[in-house]
Structure 1
């Protein structure tokens, strides 16, 4: 049956940066598709609150508090997760940060902070998981990219640079690891309503620009990312590799 192509029953998924926003929504969606999901975040209290919110919705998940920007802590956490819960079948690299400012004002500290979280952390988290996936000959790695992997805007030079780098990391890891049965793909959201984007949603001028710029004429809803994530995490995408799947209401398709 076609439905089995999207069945994640029993597969263990780790979603980084999933205490809120897009990561939280993706974690819930993967769990509802049958996966056993581990939420990740730096703040244990915030993480526990996210687990409790999902429990109220009838969704049971595990949690692992560690900072993906710390390679040693990440390696230790991945080892502990596998020892406790079994092999990781799905990794969703969602953790990321944004710092908005004119490029002329970007300090070395801000640059390193954004690239360290959005690029370095993704690579070393992926490396830790892939060390275990490669001998098993299977795995799904989903890097949460962005329309800014393709399109630029003023005042987001570190972020856009990081997401462009993530696009090429996705393709390079595909080139190396596809032969090991691992699919490395990117999920590239457009503009979605989340706790982090709420100030922009409430900015009438920005929302007006966005609705005119996006063929769909509106902000995206986080639940509209779930289908694409389940596809990239499931057997349905076994011959899809090195691909960025844009979920953006048509933004990257038009001028």
Structure 2
């Protein structure tokens, strides 16, 4: 897809991967960016960075788990700023903790943001894209949407679900000239990921590399966009020798040793993006 002259909306745009995607789209020719996140101060900072690149930036401080608020804001944005051609669903929450120590409110927050929030804004914009017979929707999943990770059970579940959601929408919306693709970053070195316990042997990528991979994948009309050689290796291994991959993932997970697992205190990690 040619993104020149298009209007894009990026959720989770206040920092991390969402911020880098917004800036990369601005560098690559979009003319207008709608920036969505909960933190109004950080959004304003990103909007200033986008404007410095000569692109119109409209910050929208929204909580995607509030459907009425989102519905009103998107209708107003479409009316005031014209049609949206590109939707990037990047907003998300990750809680890291062994499942037996997990807490229901954390699970509910991950599902509410990663799935229901994405569903809410996608439904509103996809209907309008179908009417205009043009658009592309990018759903940011994760390598954990292909390879489930210990200590990230619910997060992995939401990322697997995003891939299924993406595949289903791709089939439904193709006849309306609306493309749907998935972006699958590996571990990315952002301020949010630093709150998590990292898996051994994984070399993190940068948010800028993820954004560049997205733009490259859009130009190729890729259905799924993997980021980095480790992602390709993991997916290949999962297809050819899944038992090897599962063992490696288990060995690399930041879990306490079996002898100390019941007594060692686990400090939970949380990331929002």
The TM-score normalised by the length of structure 2 is: 0.80
Secondary structure, in 3 states, of the residue corresponding to 1:187? strand
Write out the 4+ residue segments of structure 1 that deviate beyond 3 Å after TM superposition: 53-60, 231-234
Per-residue CA deviations over 1:189-213 (Å, capped at 9, x if unaligned) read: 001111112345xx7xx47x234xx
Distance 1:131 1:60 in 2: 24
Structure 1: segments with no counterpart, 5+ residues: 212-217
Q: 1:145·1:188 contact (CA, 8 Å) conserved in 2? A: yes
Secondary structure, in 3 states, of the residue corresponding to 1:220? coil
Q: 2:182·2:225 contact (CA, 8 Å) conserved in 1? A: yes
Q: How does 1:194-213 map to 2 (within 5 A)?
A: 194-199=190-195, 206=198, 209-211=200-202
Number of matched pairs: 234
1:166 deviates by: 0.4
1:52 deviates by: 2.5
Instruction: Work out which of the residue numbers 186, 206, 215 in structure 2 matches 1:230.
Output: 215
The TM-score normalised by the length of structure 1 is: 0.85
Q: Does 1:19 align with 2:14?
A: yes
1:248 deviates by: 3.4
Q: Does 1:64 align with 2:60?
A: yes
Distance 2:118 2:226 in 1: 19
Structure 2: segments with no counterpart, 5+ residues: 238-244, 246-273
Question: Residues 39 and 210 (structure 1 numbering): CA distance in 2 closer, same or farther, change over 3 Å?
Answer: farther
Instruction: Work out which of the residue numbers 95, 98, 108 in structure 1 matches 2:94.
Output: 98
In structure 2, what is the equivalent of residue 110 of structure 1?
Answer: 106
In structure 1, what is the equivalent of residue 170 of structure 2?
Answer: 174
Per-residue CA deviations over 1:176-234 (Å, capped at 9, x if unaligned) read: 1111111111000001111112345xx7xx47x234xxxxxx32121112233224545
Secondary structure, in 3 states, of the residue corresponding to 1:99? strand
Q: Does 1:29 align with 2:24?
A: yes
- Tell which structure's C-alpha radius of gyration is larger: 2
